[in-house]
Amino acid sequence: MNELNLVAVIVAAGIGKRVGAEIPKQYLSLLGKTIIEHSLAPFLNHPDIYKVVVSLAENDQWFTQLEIANHPKIERVIGGEARVDSVLSALKVINDDDYVLVHDAARPCISRADIDKLITHVRVSKQGAILGSRVRDTMKRSAPDGKILNTVERENLWHALTPQMFQNHVLIKAISSVKDTHNITDEASAMEMSGLPVTIIEGRSDNLKITRYEDLQLAALYLSQ
């Protein structure tokens, strides 16, 4: 199996106002550590990932206070207003031929097994892939006033998760080719709009993104197990 040069990108420039905290959600405490420390750990500890680029807000005053900020694998960059801008800032300091695993700082429950599953697939296929979890609930589409318009067929419907893994120069080209970057909701969407193939690899459904306070409680339960 051919080896790939692997770099992780941790997107941590967001504010996360829906959690209702006075600090960005990635710095909230979770089982004695910050959320971002949990999110970083599997990538920093992975023997095949040689660098971890953390994209931070320009006025971030919390990351440098963490002990993990001095880890030799970590490189910091300043992100932008939108998520895609923060990702691009990180991609620009990574070698063109490296493969990047872009992960949200607010996903602290990512497992080493899922990271390995994603890497193994991309190593074999040499095509981009993301982690996802199958939709299990009945899905409804509503009007802006909340009234149900229709039921959405859930077969082959997925929750897109992170990390999402692509060759760096291919991802940069895909993002740069999109005229309205506001339409880019994740890295896979940029690839899709560029007509490039992306595969979904089924991952654990407990790889949740912290957006509300109850998510923090659920993440604590998952990590404690």
Domain contains 94: yes
- Tell whether 196 is covered by a domain: yes
Does residue 29 lie in a domain region?
yes
CATH of the domain at 121: 3.90.550.10
How high is the pLDDT of residue 14? 78
In whole angstroms, what is the distance from residue 106 CA to residue 13 CA? 11
pLDDT tens digits along 109-119: 999 999 999 99
- Quick check: is 145 in a domain? yes
Give the span between the Cα atoms of 204 and 144, in whole angstroms: 31
pLDDT at 18 over 70: no
Which structural domain, as residue segments, surrounds residue 124?
Answer: 6-224
- Residue 1 in any domain: the answer is no
Residue 189 placed within a domain? yes
- Give pLDDT, residue 107: 98
Q: Is 142 within the bounds of a domain?
A: yes
79-90 pLDDT, tens digit each: 998 999 999 999
Residue at 57 is within a domain: yes
Q: Is the pLDDT confidence value at 19 over 80?
A: no
State the burial class of residue 127 (Cβ atoms within 10 Å of its Cβ: 0-12, 13-18, 19+).
Answer: middle
How many domains, the chain? 1
pLDDT tens digits along 124-181? 999 999 999 999 999 999 999 999 999 999 999 999 999 999 999 999 999 999 988 8
What is the residue-averaged pLDDT of the chain?
94
Supply the pLDDT for residue 86.
96
Task: With a cut of 60, say whether residue 196 has pLDDT above it.
Answer: yes
Interatomic CA distance for residues 199 and 130, integer angstroms = 6
